[in-house]
């Protein structure tokens, strides 16, 4: 009865409906962020991202604890952790992971330098493009792992063929992406630089290279994952140190716990590489006003 | 001797300018002079060759016939502000600027277009009008003797455009470069320019002085008549709904 009375009063005051009356806003939805925020803050982002791996780990622990998995063929998390601890205690894990890290680092740095130089030569000059691009496309078509036996014959079994294999893969990915980045730089901006009478050096260092940076970072991301992949191949032949060597030894000695541990290590370094590129992107591409996701 | 004097008073002298793309003649014997400090607007339909002419004056297109004389100090403002997105506002104005006081001058130029507070902003966070003002600052900080404007307000909303007219006119009054302002907006041309030329199919079909006293408004005496004259030259009538 009271709502009827107030509705009557409102008509006298004016036609503007009173939002406090529930019936006036019935059927409308709240669009401001305030109502959504509470629900979103309940689970922080990093925790949500961690949920998947944690569930996987739990499932694994439950499966091996309940005897669903054969402990001999598929060791449980505790056994793998123990294997890791043994290898750390004897210093083997650090030494071998360290060796592999150095190989990847050396090969990657070399690959970046070579890839960028070739991309600049091909991207900035017509003659460079004609001479270099077909060769690089050819290299791209060849699976570099097919080169492994040849590299060993040519360079011996030391570090050289391993680092070379990594370098080739990284250089190709850096080249392909950086080159297309250079060619994709907005010609309107190049034109502006000309009207502002920028020098060739300014044009390259302040227009073309920053313009190619997003593509370079894509190349770096792909290149880094190729580096770890190359490492597996490089260390699978005649290696006496490195993660690949541990893997080989574990397989021949049927240490499945170590095999699983190595897989985790590959996953971890892969994720770390990815995080590194993400960090670089945030640092170097801050100017991009891009969509960040919800 | 008098001929010599006339020459030094000119910022631009174009005679018999020709430009063809394939078998299409875009500019067919254009003659145009612009005095020092003179504000000339060029009207024309899309495809009339006005942007081509501006690109020739900018030095971006040299595959032309005829004689084109222009000062070495030129600057261009394009329809798209064309800021380098990876350089902050101030760094865009400083870009390729020479001299030890380049940063100070760039700051002054930004202040002149009212964007001193935005010197650290990324271009992609600026509004269309702000970005175009940065582009103006970047052009003017070089103290050009010839300022080339290629439909600089074409992408802006109507309210921002009105403010930009005022700003441009102020800046021009202070720095006094010769201006060639290419546009297809007849009102804009009348409000801003000393002289208006119309380019049709690659030739200058009309050249007319604007005698309306400054400050100008659309209500000024003579505005409507001049507007009608220019629209007629462009082959456009504005009586919407009259055709039956």
Residues β-bridged to residue A76: none
Owning domain of residue B72: 2-224
pLDDT level of residue A34 (50, 70, 90 thresholds): low
Give me the pLDDT at residue A238, please: 76
Establish if B127 touches chain A: CB-CB under 8 angstroms. no
Which structure tokens are listed for A106?
């050396």
- CATH code at A146? 1.10.3720.10
- B138 CB neighbours in chain A (<8 A) are 196
Please, are residues B128 and B74 in contact by the beta-carbon 8 Å criterion? no
* pLDDT at A72 > cutoff 90: no
Owning domain of residue A150: 77-284
CA atoms within 13 A on the CB side of A83: 20
Contacts of B93 by beta carbon, 8 Å cutoff, 6+ apart? B106, B109, B110, B134, B137, B138, B141
pLDDT level of residue A19 (50, 70, 90 thresholds): low
Establish if B243 touches chain A: CB-CB under 8 angstroms. no
The DSSP secondary-structure symbol of B236 reads -
Q: What is the mean pLDDT of the segment spanning B110-127?
A: 95
Establish if B143 touches chain A: CB-CB under 8 angstroms. no
Number of other residues whose CB lies within 10 A of the CB of residue A229: 17
Establish if B74 touches chain A: CB-CB under 8 angstroms. yes
Look at residue B59 and tell me if it is in a domain. Answer: yes
Q: Is B207 helix (H, G, I), strand (E, B) or coil?
A: strand
Burial (Cβ within 10 Å: 0-12, 13-18, ≥19) of residue B21: exposed
pLDDT tens digit sequence for B36-48: 999 999 999 988 8
pLDDT tens digit sequence for B177-232: 999 999 999 999 999 999 999 999 999 999 999 999 988 999 999 999 999 999 99
Residue of B nearest to A286 (CA): B86
Give me the pLDDT at residue B28, please: 95
Look at residue B102 and tell me if it is in a domain. Answer: yes
Please tell me which of the candidates A191, A199, A287 has its beta carbon nearest to residue B86.
A287
Please tell me which of the candidates A195, A207, A287 has its beta carbon nearest to residue B58.
A195
Residue B137 vs residue A4, higher pLDDT: B137
* Count of the separate structural domains present in chain B: 1
Distance CA B73, CA B46 (A): 28
Distance CA B2, CA B68 (A): 21
Look at residue A82 and tell me if it is in a domain. Answer: yes
* pLDDT at A293 > cutoff 90: no
The percent of residues above 70 in pLDDT, for chain A, comes to: 87
Q: What is the mean pLDDT of the segment spanning B118-129?
A: 94
Tell me which residue of B84, B98, B86, B92 sits closest to B113, measured CA to CA.
B92
Give me the pLDDT at residue A2, please: 44
* pLDDT at A36 > cutoff 90: no
Please, are residues B55 and B61 in contact by the beta-carbon 8 Å criterion? yes
CB contact under 8 A, B86 and A210: yes
Please, are residues B173 and B181 in contact by the beta-carbon 8 Å criterion? no
- CATH code at B164? 3.40.50.300
The dihedral of CA B177, B169, B159, B136: what is its sign?
positive
Look at residue B242 and tell me if it is in a domain. Answer: no
CA atoms within 13 A on the CB side of A272: 9
Establish if A46 touches chain B: CB-CB under 8 angstroms. no
CB contact under 8 A, B78 and A207: no
Look at residue A133 and tell me if it is in a domain. Answer: yes
* pLDDT at A200 > cutoff 60: yes
Give me the pLDDT at residue A218, please: 96
How many CB contacts within 8 angstroms connect chain A with chain B?
56
Distance CA A70, CA A54 (A): 21
* Count of the separate structural domains present in chain A: 1
Contacts of A112 by beta carbon, 8 Å cutoff, 6+ apart? A170, A171, A174, A220, A223
Look at residue B78 and tell me if it is in a domain. Answer: yes
Look at residue B108 and tell me if it is in a domain. Answer: yes
Q: Is B183 helix (H, G, I), strand (E, B) or coil?
A: strand
Distance CA A193, CA A40 (A): 46
Give me the pLDDT at residue A17, please: 59
Peptide bond before residue B215 is cis, with ω within 30 degrees of 0: yes
* pLDDT at B60 > cutoff 90: yes
Give me the pLDDT at residue B7, please: 52
Total count of residues recorded for chain A = 294
The region of weakest confidence among A216-220, A234-238, B20-24, B108-112 is A234-238
Establish if B59 touches chain A: CB-CB under 8 angstroms. yes
Q: How far is A198 from chain B (nearest CA, A)?
A: 5
- B76 CB neighbours in chain A (<8 A) are 192, 195
Establish if A287 touches chain B: CB-CB under 8 angstroms. yes
Give me the pLDDT at residue A143, please: 86
pLDDT tens digit sequence for B134-173: 999 999 999 999 999 999 999 999 999 999 999 999 999 9
* pLDDT at A212 > cutoff 60: yes
Burial (Cβ within 10 Å: 0-12, 13-18, ≥19) of residue B117: exposed
* pLDDT at A279 > cutoff 70: yes
Look at residue A126 and tell me if it is in a domain. Answer: yes
Distance CA A268, CA A282 (A): 21
Establish if B76 touches chain A: CB-CB under 8 angstroms. yes
Contacts of A283 by beta carbon, 8 Å cutoff, 6+ apart? none
Look at residue B236 and tell me if it is in a domain. Answer: no
Look at residue B216 and tell me if it is in a domain. Answer: yes
Which structure tokens are listed for B189?
């041309």
* pLDDT at A239 > cutoff 90: no
Look at residue A184 and tell me if it is in a domain. Answer: yes
Which structure tokens are listed for B201?
């199919």
Give me the pLDDT at residue A168, please: 95
Which structure tokens are listed for B33?
């002079």
Number of other residues whose CB lies within 10 A of the CB of residue A33: 8
Q: H helices within chain A, ranges in order? A: 2-13, 22-25, 34-41, 45-65, 77-89, 92-124, 126-141, 148-155, 159-183, 187-195, 200-202, 209-235, 243-252, 256-284
- A195 CB neighbours in chain B (<8 A) are 58-60, 74-76
Please, are residues B124 and B85 in contact by the beta-carbon 8 Å criterion? yes
Look at residue B240 and tell me if it is in a domain. Answer: no
pLDDT tens digit sequence for A112-143: 999 999 999 999 999 999 999 999 999 899 88
pTM across the whole model: 0.82
* pLDDT at A37 > cutoff 90: no
pLDDT tens digit sequence for B62-98: 999 999 999 999 999 999 999 999 999 999 999 999 9
pLDDT level of residue A274 (50, 70, 90 thresholds): very high
Distance CA B228, CA B210 (A): 13
């Amino acid at each position: 009865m009271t709502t009827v009375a107030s509705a009557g009063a409102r008509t006298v005051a004016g036609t503007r409906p009173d939002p406090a009356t529930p019936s006036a806003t019935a059927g409308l939805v709240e669009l401001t962020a305030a109502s959504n925020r509470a629900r979103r803050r309940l689970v922080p982002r990093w925790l949500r991202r961690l949920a998947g791996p944690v569930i996987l780990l739990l499932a694994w622990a439950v499966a091996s604890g309940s005897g669903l998995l054969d402990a001999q063929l598929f060791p449980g998390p505790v056994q793998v952790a123990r294997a890791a601890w043994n290898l750390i205690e004897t210093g083997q894990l650090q030494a071998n992971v360290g060796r592999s890290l150095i190989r990847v680092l050396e090969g990657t740095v070399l690959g970046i330098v070579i890839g960028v130089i070739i991309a600049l030569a091909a991207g900035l000059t017509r003659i460079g493009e004609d001479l270099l691009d077909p060769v690089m496309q050819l290299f791209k078509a060849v699976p570099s792992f097919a080169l492994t036996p040849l590299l060993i014959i040519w360079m011996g079994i030391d570090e050289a063929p391993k680092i070379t294999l990594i370098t080739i893969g990284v250089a190709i990915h850096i080249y392909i992406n950086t080159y297309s980045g250079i060619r994709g730089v907005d010609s309107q901006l190049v034109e502006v630089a000309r009207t502002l009478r920028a020098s060739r050096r300014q044009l390259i260092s302040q227009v073309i290279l920053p313009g190619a940076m997003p593509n370079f970072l894509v190349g770096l991301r792909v290149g880094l994952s190729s580096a770890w992949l190359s490492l597996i191949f490089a260390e699978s032949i005649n290696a006496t140190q490195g993660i690949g060597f541990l893997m080989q030894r574990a397989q021949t000695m049927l240490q499945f716990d170590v095999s699983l541990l190595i897989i985790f290590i590959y996953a971890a370094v892969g994720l770390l590489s990815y995080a590194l590129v993400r960090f670089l992107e945030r640092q170097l591409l801050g100017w991009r006003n891009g969509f960040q996701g919800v | 001797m008098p001929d010599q004097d006339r020459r030094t008073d000119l910022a631009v002298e174009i005679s018999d300018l020709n430009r063809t793309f394939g078998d299409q003649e875009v500019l067919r014997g254009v003659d145009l002079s612009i005095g020092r400090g003179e504000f000339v607007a060029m009207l024309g339909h899309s495809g009339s060759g006005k942007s081509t002419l501006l690109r020739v004056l900018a030095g971006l297109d040299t595959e032309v016939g005829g004689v084109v004389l222009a000062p070495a100090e030129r600057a261009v403002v394009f329809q798209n502000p064309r800021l380098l997105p990876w350089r902050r506002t101030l760094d865009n104005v400083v870009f390729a600027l020479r001299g030890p006081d380049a940063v100070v001058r760039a700051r002054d130029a930004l202040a002149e277009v009212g964007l001193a507070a935005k010197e650290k902003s990324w271009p992609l966070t600026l509004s269309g009008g702000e970005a175009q003002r940065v582009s103006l600052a970047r052009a003017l900080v070089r103290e050009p003797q010839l300022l080339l404007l290629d439909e600089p307000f074409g992408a802006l909303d109507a309210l921002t455009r009105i403010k930009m007219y005022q700003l441009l006119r102020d800046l021009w009054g202070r720095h006094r470069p010769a201006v060639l302002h290419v546009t297809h907006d007849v009102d804009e041309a009348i409000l801003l320019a000393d002289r208006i030329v119309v380019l049709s199919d690659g030739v200058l079909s009309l050249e007319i002085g604007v005698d309306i006293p400054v400050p100008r408004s659309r209500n000024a005496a003579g505005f409507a008549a001049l507007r009608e004259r220019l629209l007629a030259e462009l082959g456009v009538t504005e009586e919407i709904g009259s055709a039956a």
